[in-house]
Structure 1
Amino acid sequence: MGSPGLINRNNGHHHQQRLGITEPISLGGPTDYDVTKTRELEKFLQDAGLYESQEEAVSREEIVKNWVKVISRAKGLNEQLVQEANAKIFTFGSYRLGVHGPGADIDTLCVGPRHATREEDFFGELYRMLSRDA
């Protein structure tokens, strides 16, 4: 028995790949009307300020970069190591799908340098930095 939605090559049957456990409502693509209405909706949402700006996204990245440098200095790393230290934010959920709004929560995984601790540095120092900027 194979995974749902994957091609089963063992018995020669080929099924269209699908994700999830239920059948899609339709396999048809969008109509011209659907595309037009989608563009109109996106324009309305953009005009209403419901999309995060590029500046907000860049600001989020800068905060994390600054946080890594602050904790690296606090732990006594030399300046070269401070400058090389980095963190990466991986997003998922509504943020990753691009369907979040300004001020919405962001489901993230933050991977930092080995010297960063979860409790003291992430939930402590990063929280304090974000609170000051709020």
Structure 2
Amino acid sequence: MYGAASNNILKKLDPIHHQGLRIALGAFRTSPVTSLYAKAQEMSLKNRRKKLSMNYVLKLKTCPDNPAYSCVFEPPNSKLFEKSRLSPPLGLRILPLFEDSKIDLDVVDDTTVSDTPPWSQSEPQICLSLTKYKKDTTNPEVYK
């Protein structure tokens, strides 16, 4: 949701994130931000917002029955946001990211739910006969 906020507001979160990384890593106050991201194996908040938004849209694409589907993939009044200072809806913000990433949303299949309820399916048979052997003292041929 906070991807809809203005960039000025979102940029105020970056120093807090950087300070948290510095504290967690025990890094100096002068450590470059890119080094903090690499050392912590973290993404910047901007990239994280993009990734989470793209994940949400991909998940939503598999469920056309979801009420949010039409709002994202068929946004009303899209022309209104072309020259406006208003923040565009998620569908208009995210589709350029998919185009830049060369991800084709048309190949995403719909989720199908099985007609058979899980409680009426047969229980899987699991063979646990090899659990009586200790792995470090058992000949590999026994496992084959």
Give TM-score, length-normalised by structure 2.
Answer: 0.24
> Larger Rg: 1 or 2?
2
Higher relative contact order (CA 8 A, sep 6+): 2
Structure with the higher strand share, 1 or 2: 1
Structure with the higher helix share, 1 or 2: 2
Give TM-score, length-normalised by structure 1.
Answer: 0.26
